Amino acid sequence: MSRRPGPFDGIDELLDRLNRQIETAAQSWETGIDNRSQLDLSMGGSKTSIDLADEGDEFVVAADVPGYESEDLELRLTGETLAISGNREHTEEVGGEAENYIRRERKTQSFSRQVRLPDPVDADAIRASVNNGVLTVRLPKLEPSEESRSIEIE
């Protein structure tokens, strides 16, 4: 007589396969976190994309900021960390043109991104510009000091 299949037949194989998939996903997630933590210190999921390029004598950061004016953006350099933030507010109009809207969905938007730079930069020579929705920040590298000096030992 043949044995009838039970409701739990194959559950061990299914659990083993699920365990392997979870381990693989966890390993790739940890690798992604390790790589991300080297340069990107941002919190949360930002929709603002950033590129960091090393162009020899300077680093160039390009950030997508469509719809933001230069007044809406703030740049801050702390040590070797560049912070880029933007805040765009929608002003509510009463009467006049506001009555022409059938639907109004654009509201306040903000973002914040932080990027750790691989080497120190000259904070006094940083240049930034916004063109066609792209913020470009040029950060000249500090020249290594070649002059030597004597160090006194106490």
Give pLDDT, residue 21.
Answer: 82
Give pLDDT, residue 7.
Answer: 72
Give pLDDT, residue 37.
Answer: 41
The token pair at 10 is 């194959």
Q: Rounded to two decimals, what is the model's pTM? A: 0.59
Asked if residue 130 has pLDDT above 50, the reply is yes
Cα gap 115→80, rounded to integer Å? 8
Q: Closest Cα partner for 135 from 86, 92, 78, 101?
A: 86
Domain 43-140 falls under CATH 2.40.160.100: no
Give pLDDT, residue 73.
Answer: 92
Residues 15-53 as b or e (16 or more Cβ within 10 Å = b): eeeeeeeeeeeeeeeeeeeeeeeeeeebeeebebebebe
53-73 pLDDT tens trace: 999 999 999 999 888 889 999
